[in-house]
Amino acid sequence: MNPQRPAVTRLADSVASELEKRILEGSLKPGDRLPSERALALELGVSRPSLREAMQQLVSKGLLSTRHGGGTYVTDRLEAHFVDPWQGMLKANPMLHRDLLEVRQMLESQAAALAADRATDLDISRLDAAHAALEASYERDDLTHCIETDVAFHQAVAEASHNALIGHLTASLMRVIRGHVSNNLVHLHARPQRWNQLRAQHRAIWQAIREHKPQEAALAASEHIEFVRQSIEDKVLDEARRSSALRRLGDVPAN
């Protein structure tokens, strides 16, 4: 009997694997438009028919979508199936906020530790840029931009961990709680001392990662989420006290 010959990997399959890897690692993100067929074929060193076949494989998997005359885009399939049901349940069950914060604390402390251990020079440069953008938002006292750069900073940390699941889970989780993050930042912004504490916490995470100190990075990230949890509890108490005071004044009907 002839020994079984190993299967030969088809070129289109290799190209599909390369594009899938880029989606998994986050270098191609949901909503990103792929380069033109000609440019991408040249970059990958393959023929355009092989590239088309590879892209069709990923369209079939739901990772890419094509728009007639509008190019090919990365879908949000890796996030949407997590995000969609949880956003609705979060509105209906406020106690889930606490559970989500516990998950976020575990995820972000591990992400920070791994980033401190694994981050390359390129990762550090990207993290530096994300932190600089966040600092610029603080300096300008631009709350809207601060919300955007806060989310981007935490995502940069997650992707510097070089763990594909952490990167995608963090992106999904931040989408679920984006409104929740926004409301908390508004609450903290009205309290300068606590706002400065928040700024210092981001700086501590950034410094520990760029100095490659995993334990310090994990602790800084964990303490940051604990601060966020306490801030949310304080916000709920403040709102309850305000409602109580208004009722005593007769400005709102009693429940």
pLDDT for res 5: 40
Q: Which of 202, 129, 204, 205 is nearest to 161 (CA)?
A: 205
Q: Pairing state of beta strands 71-74 and 64-67?
A: antiparallel
pLDDT for res 138: 92
Rounded distance between C-alpha atoms, residue 61 and residue 57, angstroms: 6
- Could you read off the pLDDT of 32-42 as tens digits, one per residue? 899 988 999 99
Residues lower than pLDDT 50 in the chain: 1, 4-8
- Could you read off the pLDDT of 53-83 as tens digits, one per residue? 999 998 888 888 888 777 888 887 776 566 6
pLDDT for res 94: 63
What are the counts of helices (DSSP H) followed by strands (DSSP E) for the chain? Answer: 11, 2
Q: For residue 206, give both structure tokens.
A: 């950034």
CA distances from 157 to 96, 129, 143 (A): 24, 12, 21
Q: Which of 124, 129, 149 is nearest to 199 (CA)?
A: 149
pTM: 0.72
DSSP class of residue 26?
T
